[in-house]
């Protein structure tokens, strides 16, 4: 079987590595080659350390040869450049930190490292994550891989663009007011914004400490579940971390056997979002998406929320537990 290695999801990469179809070194090298080809145009990555990535991949191959099996073992990923990473330049998209190479790293990064992930490099972001287009980085604009004349969203635009362009299997981003979810939508990938406190913020260069959340950019929900299962969980180094059991996200993501998997699920679409002057393609995409799902059991109704209160609610930090 011939594999298009840079097109692999986390799940497919793990399956191939486990079966011995390819090595982590080969997989990592394929991503590095693609980065060297596309990143000069996209500017998704700010820092790539090929030597360190290949060394991590070789170590992962050795661990697998010894019979070890961890959730992300040998899988190449990217990290938004607001996540402190030991030995890898961390700029937060700012010239102020242009030469900052940490001697320590944050909890989410450390958990991925322990799980065997290979770090390809750090992705572009609006400076200190303060933006929504990745145009406001001290290191230039990131381009949307689907149309390089357009932005990838932000502030996790580098991570979203990297996943969409096949420069990594998955990436970490951060979300304060939409900075994982919005670039995921712009780039056509899956974005998971965790509830506040679900993932430790220790080692995250802060934008708004009472709102910041580390999340995942991935090809699909299954991949997001795999990565999130590694990074989630209580951390004594973050006083806002939730001391709750981490659910089995992968099992929860598994497709149900029923022919109507969404039976009984009700989805609300606010009427106020379907307004006069909306772009026709947005209207078609928004309204049209609801029709096919009726056949699998989803009950779609348009409702009217207390929209005038939404902004105030969005500015409040809420945590369960």
Categorize the per-residue pLDDT at 289 as very low, low, confident or very high, splitting at 50, 70 and 90: low
Catalytic residue list contains 122: no
Active-site choice (132, 133, 155, 213): 155
315 vs 237, residue with greater confidence: 237
Question: Helix 10-19 and helix 50-65: axis angle, to 10°?
Answer: 50
Categorize the per-residue pLDDT at 317 as very low, low, confident or very high, splitting at 50, 70 and 90: very low
Helix (H) or strand (E) holding 169: none
Task: Name the region of 121 (left: φ>0; alpha: ψ -120 to 50; beta: rest).
Answer: left
Q: Please give the full DSSP string across 178-210, using - where no structure is assigned.
A: STTHHHHHHHTSEEEPPPTTSB--TTBPPS-TT
Active-site choice (94, 132, 137, 179): 179
Q: Is the pLDDT of residue 112 over 60?
A: yes
Three-state SS for 81-142 is CCECECCECCCCCCHHHCCCCCCCCCHHHHHHHHCCCEEEEEECCCHHHCCCCCCCCCCCCC
Report the pLDDT averaged over residues 258-266.
69
Q: Is the pLDDT of residue 312 over 70?
A: no
Report the pLDDT averaged over residues 91-96.
98
Categorize the per-residue pLDDT at 290 as very low, low, confident or very high, splitting at 50, 70 and 90: low
pLDDT for residue 121: 98
Three-state SS for 145-167 is CCECCCCCCCCCHHHHHHHHCCC
pLDDT for residue 288: 53
Distance CA 71, CA 51 (A): 23
Tell me the pLDDT of the chain averaged across its residues: 90
278 vs 66, residue with greater confidence: 66
Q: Which token pair is 15?
A: 């399956």
Q: What is the pLDDT of residues 154-207, one digit of tens each?
A: 999 999 999 999 999 999 999 999 999 999 999 999 999 999 999 999 999 999
The CATH H-level (homologous superfamily) assignment of domain 5-253 is: Amidase signature (AS) domain (3.90.1300.10)
Q: Helix (H, G, I), strand (E, B), or coil: what is residue 174?
A: strand
Catalytic residue list contains 80: yes
User: Domains of the chain: which residue ranges?
Assistant: 5-253, 266-314
Q: What is the pLDDT of residues 7-62, one digit of tens each?
A: 999 999 999 999 999 999 999 999 999 999 999 999 999 999 999 999 999 999 99
Catalytic residue list contains 276: no
pTM: 0.89
């Amino acid at each position: 079987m011939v594999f298009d290695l840079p097109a692999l999801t986390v799940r497919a990469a793990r399956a191939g590595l486990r079966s011995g179809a390819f090595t982590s070194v080969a997989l990592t090298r394929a991503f590095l080659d693609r980065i060297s080809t596309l990143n000069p145009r996209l500017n998704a990555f700010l820092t790539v350390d090929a030597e360190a990535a290949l060394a991590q991949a070789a170590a992962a191959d050795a661990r697998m040869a010894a019979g070890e099996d961890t959730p992300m073992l040998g899988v190449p990923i990217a990290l938004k450049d607001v996540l402190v990473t030991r030995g890898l330049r961390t700029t937060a998209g700012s010239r102020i930190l242009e030469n900052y190479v940490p001697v320590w790293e944050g909890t989410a990064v450390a958990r991925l490292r322990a799980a065997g992930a290979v770090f390809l490099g750090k992705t572009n972001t609006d400076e200190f994550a303060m933006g929504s287009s990745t145009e406001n980085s001290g290191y230039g604009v990131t381009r949307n891989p689907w149309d390089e004349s357009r932005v990838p969203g932000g502030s996790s635009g580098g991570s979203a663009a990297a996943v969409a362009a096949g420069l990594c299997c998955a990436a970490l981003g951060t979300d304060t007011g939409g900075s994982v979810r919005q670039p995921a939508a712009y780039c056509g990938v899956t974005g998971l914004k965790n509830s506040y406190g679900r993932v430790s913020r220790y080692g995250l260069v802060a934008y708004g400490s009472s709102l910041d959340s580390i999340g995942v950019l991935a090809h699909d929900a299954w991949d997001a579940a795999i990565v999130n299962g590694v990074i989630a969980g209580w951390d004594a180094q973050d006083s806002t971390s939730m001391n709750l059991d981490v659910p089995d996200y992968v099992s929860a993501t598994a497709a149900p056997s029923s022919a109507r998997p969404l039976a009984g699920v009700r989805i609300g679409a606010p009427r106020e979002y379907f307004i006069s002057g909306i772009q026709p393609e947005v209207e078609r995409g928004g309204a049209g998406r609801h029709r096919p799902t009726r056949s699998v059991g989803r009950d779609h109704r348009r409702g009217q929320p207390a929209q005038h209160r939404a902004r105030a609610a969005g500015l409040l930090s809420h945590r369960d537990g």
